[in-house]
Structure formats: C-alpha cells, structure tokens
Amino acid sequence: MSDEDDVRRLALALPSTEERTAYGTPAFYVGKKMFARLHDQPGVLVCWRADLGEREALLQSDPSAFFTTPHYDGHPSVLVRLDRVPPERLGELLREAWECRAPKRITGR
C-alpha cells in the first residue's frame, strides 16, 4: 500500500509539478493550481477530481479507501487513505487530478 513518500515521488514525476505548502502540509501544484495535498490527518491525501459525479463514484467504489468530510461538501475532491491504495492506483489518482487542474498550455488539450 502507499505512503507519503509514494505521493511525493508520483506527484513530482508529473510534468510541471512543484511541491509547495498549503494549509501547513505538503501540496502539489501544476502551474498555479493545486491538485493534491497531504491532509493534516496522517496518512490521508486530498485529491482533486474533475467533478462531483466523479468524486461520488470513487466514494461508492471503495469506502475503505475513499471518504470525505463535511468540510469538503460541494468540492470536487476526495480524501484518500494512503494505506488502502496500492502505488499503481495512487499514481492513477494523481495523474487524473493533475489532468483536471493543469493548464491547457501544459497538457496540450
């Protein structure tokens, strides 16, 4: 399963990604937009999704790995328990988050 080192390694492998701090924790940005950050709860990642429907699908697919809190109501992000997702799946989640936040000049879309 994954940990914070995996998050850092996989996120920083994405094009034009930088690590900064947001809300007192490590966060990952593409251009000026954050696409993921380590939550203040240890072992949890906040990961952006394209929309609320995509978030809901993840929440229903594996409630042991994906969850949310009232703080994130109405926000297209999901909380990920790192110890419940393998690095391959974490890499997919980070790439999807990166793609939905990256500027067109970087993605070429």
CATH code for the domain of 16: 3.90.1150.30
User: How many domains are contained in the chain?
Assistant: 1
Nearest-10 Cα torsion for 65, 74, 51, 8:
-50
Given a cut of 90, whether residue 105 has pLDDT beyond it is no
Mean pLDDT of 34-41: 97
- How far apart CA 102 and CA 67 sit, in angstroms, is 24
Query: Domain range holding 10?
Result: 4-107
Model pLDDT for residues 82-93, shown as the tens digit of each residue:
999 999 999 999
> Measuring CA to CA, which residue among 41, 45, 44, 85 is closest to residue 62?
85
- Separation between Cα atoms, residue 10 and residue 108, nearest integer Å: 21
